[in-house]
Amino acid sequence: MGQSRQLNGYPPSPFTLEGRFLNFGLEDGFKLKWLWLATAEGEHCIKLSKAARASFKGTLRPGDWVRISGSQTHASDTGVPKLKADLIMPATPSPVTPPVEVGVAPVKGKATVLVCQKSDCAKRGSLTVCAALASALKAQGLESQVTIKATGCMKDCKLGPNLVFMPGKAHYHRARPEEMPALVEKYFPVVQPV
């Protein structure tokens, strides 16, 4: 298992979860950093170690049943568990495993899309992107679960409009209104039938 730092004086503890793979979270728009897993208890955002990224070799598709093991720590400020995967393996649901419900995936935590509204991003169409994002969220039935928040400068003015999908902190540059439905599906997917 990979190394995890100790938080709040407690050593990391092992965890194993089984459920349906929903999607990946990207850092800087291209680097695999997190994955979302739907279990009977809800949706989990799990950080990927280098070993975990190598263990599945990019073969996961949304809806695949997987078993994930790794280490769990707790955030020092909130006490919220933080999961880090070390191994991802294909799994078969057992008859005693409760099915994952069909419908809109519950968005856990602070699901927010940050949209820069400073002058350079505004000139490049951030208001239009906001409207398209709101429309895409409504079309998926997520308007009450995901917040769109206007922000100040994100320091990438020449690459605007700039967005950040939270949780996960996936940054998007030169966002276009027509990309919003695909990005909403990617970061806030609908749970597939079991």
Task: Please write the tens of the pLDDT for every residue from 89-139.
Answer: 888 765 544 444 434 444 445 578 888 888 888 888 888 888 888 888 888
C-beta of residue 188 within 8 angstroms of C-beta of residue 142: yes
Q: If you search the block for the tokens 């909403």, which residue do you land on? A: 184
What are the structural domains of the chain?
13-100 (2.40.50.140), 112-191 (3.40.30.10)
Q: pTM score > 0.85 for this model? A: no
Task: Please write the tens of the pLDDT for every residue from 148-174.
Answer: 888 778 787 888 888 888 777 778 888
In the structure encoding, which two tokens stand for residue 50, read together?
């280098």
- Average pLDDT over the chain reads 75
| Sequence-distant (≥ 6) Cβ neighbours of residue 50 within 8 angstroms | 2
Q: Which helix (H) or strand (E) holds 135?
A: helix 126-139
**Banded pLDDT at 178 (limits 50, 70, 90):** very high
pLDDT of residue 113: 85
